[in-house]
Amino acid sequence: MTGTRLSIRIDLKNGDRIGPGKIALLEAIRDTGSISAGARKIGMSYRRAWLLVEQINVALQQPGVASTMGGRQGGGAVVTPVGERMIDIYRSIERVARESAGDEFRAVEKIVRKGKRKEK
C-alpha cells in the first residue's frame, strides 16, 4: 500500500456502523455473487463475512444482501439496490473527504517518516 489514505467509519443513529470492511465485503459479494467467494476475495473468514452481512441487513431499512436459492450450481448472494446505494454513498463520502482535505494530506506526507517503520 502506498501513500497516506483515508479510512472512514460512519456511526449510524441506530448504533450500527458502516466502514471500509463492510463496504469492501459488499463490493466483493457484488463481484463474485457469493458471500463465501466474496470473503475469500478480501481475505476474510466466511463466518466473519456472514456476521457482517447480518449486521448490514439489520442496520439498513431493507437488506443490503440477499441470498439466492441454489440449483445445480448452488446458491449465491446478490447485493440489493439498497446495498448498491450504500456502496455509492460511502465511496462518494470518501471521495469528497479526500478532495476536500488534499492540502492536509500533503502536509501529513511532509511530516511522516519515509518508508516502512522497523519493528523492535
Can you give the pTM of this predicted structure?
A: 0.84
Percentage, residues of the chain above pLDDT 70: 91
Residues 6, 109: contact at Cβ < 8 Å?
A: no
CA distance 28 to 113: 33
pLDDT at position 65: 97
Question: Using 50, 70 and 90 to split pLDDT, how confident is the model at 1?
Answer: very low
Instruction: Copy the grid coordinates of residue 1.
Output: 500500500
pLDDT at position 20: 96
Mean pLDDT confidence for 76-101: 95
**Domains with residue ranges and CATH for the chain:** 10-111 (1.10.10.10)
Nearest C-alpha neighbor of 56 from the set 75, 80, 38: 80
- Residue 97 pLDDT > 60, yes or no? yes
